[in-house]
Structure 1
Amino acid sequence: MNTTDYLLELGQDQAIALIDGSKSYSYYDLKNASACLAQELLAVGINPTDRVGVIGANSLFWAAAYLAILKIGAIAVPFPVTLTASELQTRQNFVQCKAICVEKRYYQRLQGGLTTEARLIFEDSLKKSEGVWWATLPTYGDEQDDAVYLFTSGTTARPRVVRLTHRNIQANTTSIIEYLELTSADRVMAILPFHYCFGTSLLHTHLRVGGSVVLSRFLYPETMLDTMEKTHCTGLAGVPSIYQTLLRNTTFPKRELKSLRHIQQAGGKLQTVLIKELIAAVPQAKVFIMYGQTEATARLSYLPPELLHTKLGSVGQGIPGVTLSVINESGVAVQPGEVGEIVARGDNISPGYLDEPEANAKKFKDGALYSGDLATVDEDGFIFVVDRKDDFIKSYGHRVSSQDIESGVLEMPEIVAAAAIGLPDLVRGEAIRVYVTLRAGSELTPEQIIAHCKPRMAHHMVPQSVVILQNLPLNENGKVLKSVLRQQAIAELEAQEKGAEACVASPELSI
């Protein structure tokens, strides 16, 4: 079944599909807009399997373009709006989109990255929708065909392009709907960008059940919260950086949000102290702690809300239709307490990266996804993520989880967010540095943070230095870019070493 037909199958024409500010769009409006853009794509020569880019904020235009591309059997390639022109050009040179649907407000900034070969379609095309009928459009695409190319988050390296099939999307959407128990009465606040697999999953799941999606941005959290109250949102989804800000730097904990019935958290580990704060802030809602990857379409596991108190810190077990295991380097399932790599199987697993045979050979083996995430299991088979392989710190001969350090630091309520990295050190192997952001008005010092850690952590886990920042560097999906912090810190160390060498070489500078 074509994914667009699958997603719009149950939505009633008169029901609200999207809310964007003061405007509401029904399923009829969405179908009409999608039909219009599909006609435009066909008119410029787009054929099944051609690649079509989408550049824009969460909007009717973005959703309609995405659905139109899938409807005619082409492959949707969402680009983040935060890219520079040169970054866009690099990605476009790789994926070779034949056409790009782009919002005009981003065109001027990005036009240098838009190749002349790609046909451009703007939101003006939506005004031509009269006389275009959804039911008359041809439908292409087999379940095994590629439907979407998504760029990975790129938090530790350059982003890769993940191939997702129609089958992948439909399988993951069905699973998520099942465990969240979504219905047509659900309305989710979508502040995650649709070009991010977590954000796209919100669109997929709520359209499939005939529910609605409220479009907003997290630039002004209080405005977003006002919108949630005004539109009676039943759901909220976010990555750790969003909940860290909501819980410790907004009025979120003091608001009632009476309509809110479920909260989704994924995109990285939310520390247990913040999970407890989240549960306390929204006692009327079910909190779903989840785990996933772009290579798995979106979701791999979830922890049932009723187990939060007994399995706190766990990402749960595989979602319906997904089998998860944690294996050691010999490929054998680990015993409780042992650490291994998470491996996933299911219909939601991508067939692989685009044109990267070496990476595919390491990441995808015999239909299974090797996640690169290290975890342990308990006696009941619940999974506890320890860290990314690349984020472990080697301190005094010990392999230290950066997440364990961050968890200890975040016990201090004045800290909003924390990121721990390791830096080269002759004595320690790697010296632990923690970057933090603070509540507005806080006067907490690095020395106080280190003093908090010393009696609570083993010697090899205590930060050697703490740096207070106004904001942590985030990628376009809201994930902390530890690679940027490492690069900046190492550059600073190298500059200091050169300065020391200059002092030794120049007697007039010596003390």
Structure 2
Amino acid sequence: MSLYTLTDLLDERATTRAFAPAVERAGEAVTYSELRDLAHGSAAALAAQGVGKGDRVALLLPRSHEALGWVFGISHLGAVAVIVHESLKRQQVDHIVRHSGTRLVVAHQRARKLLAGSEVPILPSEADGRAGGGPPPSPPVIGQDLAALIYTSGSTGLPKGVMVTHANLLAGARIVADYLGLTADDRTLSLLPWSFDAGLNQVLATFWAGGTLVIGSSAYAPEICRTLVTARITGLGGVPPLWEALVRSPSPFFDVALPHLRYVTNTGGALRAGTVDSIRRAHPRTQIYLMYGLTEAFRSTYLPPELIDRYPGSLGQAIPDTEIMVLNESGAPCRPGEVGELVHRGPTVAAGYWRDLQATTKVFRPHPSPVSGSTPEYVVYSGDCVRADSDGFLYYVGRMDEQFKSRGIRVNPFEIESALLHSGLISESVVFTEVDENGENEIVAAVVPKATDSFDVEQLIAYTHASLPTHQQPARFHVDTEFPRTSSGKTDRVTVKRRLR
């Protein structure tokens, strides 16, 4: 297929699979042909408001086929979609709208209160411009044009807008659909927000294969299990908190038969070995794909199901058509076992940060070993510390900017968090430091027990004394029933730390 834009993708599917279900929710289906009609109507409504190529259009909408109609309608006009998560507060929404230079906001009724006082025009999501004739003219759009601004969760400050091109999105869709083996028979359960790169990729990878996207209405474990059964779901993607909820009692995940569930995927953080074992024990025929990625490059690595036991705890290797380098501080390749920074090269590398040249220059840099005479190629310096084994499989060590020294020895909190999870006593942990009265770093561990009623922190302390060196042992533990989440469903590490400091 010669597809260059999101509009190309929908037009192709509306031609080859016109009457096949593209999107389902609560048992109601919209075909690819009907979705294209929705996109044309949305494009007409936007054009009537003066939206044109390059304009940013913010979407404050629940996940629905109507929302996808707006996304593809924006693409039809060569404009740029800014998908805003519903859970964000007024201050965060205001920042995204202002920072992106949004020309128009499409919002449903409940979300419009978040825009009170905004000077940006608001178009009700119920607007429909299909009253007369066909779709409005579409300007020339190429793969390198911007398709979306994806705002990060803001774990290191105010959210930054990652500039994503049509080529980036389609490359990610093609690559993921390929290694997951997606076909037109696949039915993907969509639970992740579309403002999250992995959630948007689920949509586009499913459409790339001509499958059906089933929009989930709840992240409540019993409801997820019910949908998996009744909607005959073949694929489910999630982040660690979702999987922990599914395998934690009294979830019915272990009691229901899921004959259609062909695969599950995890991203957004490491999945505990015990959780992987629980999923496989409950549904041994379901394949598990462990993935690692970053918004600036979508997916970077994956570990196929057949290699999980051979390389436990690994991020896997580079996704197809991508090169992953592990570089030391001098920019030279690291030896096996040596810790360095993960650097991503390939077609999913974004175009930089919107209106932030300083951050772009830091993260998006020229290839460290350019080919003489070739066009400069930019790669993403992830800020993640990893190491590769002798077979080239990668292992996460932690964030470069979260490292600290304890008793004179450099430590990454992820090492301690991994050890705590390995105890089998907790389901989540966040480790950080505070300066004690002597000016030394004191290690603090916030944890969520697997079984709140029977948890004894003294058992966890004993485990750390037996399994961790002195310089990695937490001086203080804080026990919580659950952690706050970011808009993408991941643990909100910044808020956890802020509450305890």
State whether TM-score is above 0.5: yes
Deviations 1:5-50 (A, max 9, x none): 2245135121111111232221122112111111100111111111
Single out whichever of 361-370 and 81-90 deviates more from structure 2.
Answer: 81-90
Q: Secondary structure at 2:248's aligned position in 1?
A: helix
Aligned to 1:23: 28
Aligned to 2:164: 164
CA distance in 2, matches of 1:397, 1:270: 30
**What one-letter code is carried by the residue in structure 2 that aligns with 1:4?**
T
Correspondence 1:80-91 to 2 at 5 A = 80-91=85-96
Aligned to 2:373: none
Correspondence 1:304-343 to 2 at 5 A = 304-343=304-343
Kept after mapping to 1: 8 A contact 2:219/2:242: no
CA distance in 1, matches of 2:218, 2:449: 18
Q: Secondary structure at 2:348's aligned position in 1?
A: coil
**What one-letter code is carried by the residue in structure 2 that aligns with 1:209?**
A
**What one-letter code is carried by the residue in structure 1 that aligns with 2:314?**
S
How many Å apart are 1:130 and its aligned residue? 6.1
How many Å apart are 1:262 and its aligned residue? 1.0
Aligned to 2:116: 112
CA distance in 2, matches of 1:397, 1:218: 47
Single out whichever of 364-373 and 242-251 deviates more from structure 2.
Answer: 242-251
1:436 aligns with 2:436: no
How many Å apart are 1:356 and its aligned residue? 1.1
**What one-letter code is carried by the residue in structure 1 that aligns with 2:491?**
V
Summarize the Cα distance change of 1:218–1:314 in structure 2 as closer, same or farther, 3 Å threshold. Answer: farther
Aligned to 2:429: 418
Single out whichever of 205-214 and 215-224 deviates more from structure 2.
Answer: 215-224
Kept after mapping to 2: 8 A contact 1:187/1:212: yes
Which of 471, 476, 483 lines up with 1:465 in the alignment? 476
Report the TM-score, using the length of structure 1 for normalisation: 0.90
Aligned to 2:181: 181
Aligned to 2:207: 207
Single out whichever of 270-279 and 363-372 deviates more from structure 2.
Answer: 270-279
How many Å apart are 1:443 and its aligned residue? 2.7
How many Å apart are 1:406 and its aligned residue? 2.1
Q: Secondary structure at 1:170's aligned position in 2?
A: helix
- The alignment yields a C-alpha RMSD, in angstroms, of 1.9
1:9 aligns with 2:20: no
Correspondence 1:370-389 to 2 at 5 A = 370-389=381-400
Summarize the Cα distance change of 1:202–1:61 in structure 2 as closer, same or farther, 3 Å threshold. Answer: same
**What one-letter code is carried by the residue in structure 2 that aligns with 1:81?**
E
Aligned to 1:509: none
Q: Secondary structure at 1:353's aligned position in 2?
A: coil
How many Å apart are 1:401 and its aligned residue? 2.9
Kept after mapping to 2: 8 A contact 1:51/1:76: yes
Summarize the Cα distance change of 1:260–1:133 in structure 2 as closer, same or farther, 3 Å threshold. Answer: farther
1:485 aligns with 2:496: yes
CA distance in 2, matches of 1:154, 1:21: 32
Kept after mapping to 2: 8 A contact 1:326/1:343: yes
How many Å apart are 1:188 and its aligned residue? 1.0
Kept after mapping to 1: 8 A contact 2:352/2:364: yes
Q: Which has the higher helix share?
A: 1
How many Å apart are 1:388 and its aligned residue? 1.2
**What one-letter code is carried by the residue in structure 1 that aligns with 2:38?**
A
**What one-letter code is carried by the residue in structure 1 that aligns with 2:55?**
D
Kept after mapping to 1: 8 A contact 2:322/2:346: yes
Summarize the Cα distance change of 1:87–1:278 in structure 2 as closer, same or farther, 3 Å threshold. Answer: same
Deviations 1:387-427 (A, max 9, x none): 11233343222223322322222234452322222222356
Which of 407, 414, 432 lines up with 1:396 in the alignment? 407
How many Å apart are 1:489 and its aligned residue? 2.1
Kept after mapping to 2: 8 A contact 1:435/1:472: no
Aligned to 2:281: 280
CA distance in 2, matches of 1:317, 1:285: 21
CA distance in 1, matches of 2:270, 2:324: 18
Q: Secondary structure at 1:10's aligned position in 2?
A: helix
**What one-letter code is carried by the residue in structure 2 that aligns with 1:24?**
A
Summarize the Cα distance change of 1:458–1:87 in structure 2 as closer, same or farther, 3 Å threshold. Answer: same
Count of equivalent residues: 484
Aligned to 2:360: 360
Single out whichever of 452-461 and 404-413 deviates more from structure 2.
Answer: 404-413
CA distance in 2, matches of 1:428, 1:260: 53
1:474 aligns with 2:478: no
Summarize the Cα distance change of 1:277–1:392 in structure 2 as closer, same or farther, 3 Å threshold. Answer: farther
User: Structure 1: where are the runs of 5+ without partners?
Assistant: 491-511
Q: Secondary structure at 1:124's aligned position in 2?
A: coil
**What one-letter code is carried by the residue in structure 2 that aligns with 1:373?**
D
CA distance in 2, matches of 1:100, 1:438: 42
CA distance in 2, matches of 1:276, 1:332: 37
CA distance in 2, matches of 1:112, 1:388: 38
Summarize the Cα distance change of 1:20–1:132 in structure 2 as closer, same or farther, 3 Å threshold. Answer: farther
CA distance in 1, matches of 2:30, 2:451: 38
Q: Secondary structure at 2:122's aligned position in 1?
A: strand
Kept after mapping to 2: 8 A contact 1:147/1:164: yes
User: Structure 2: where are the runs of 5+ without partners?
Assistant: 367-377
Kept after mapping to 1: 8 A contact 2:452/2:481: no
Aligned to 1:123: 125
Summarize the Cα distance change of 1:428–1:411 in structure 2 as closer, same or farther, 3 Å threshold. Answer: farther
Kept after mapping to 1: 8 A contact 2:247/2:279: yes
What fraction of aligned residue pairs are identical, expressed as a percent? 29
Summarize the Cα distance change of 1:383–1:200 in structure 2 as closer, same or farther, 3 Å threshold. Answer: same
Deviations 1:92-143 (A, max 9, x none): 11111111111212213x1326x23x332223225x6466646x75354111
Kept after mapping to 2: 8 A contact 1:71/1:140: no
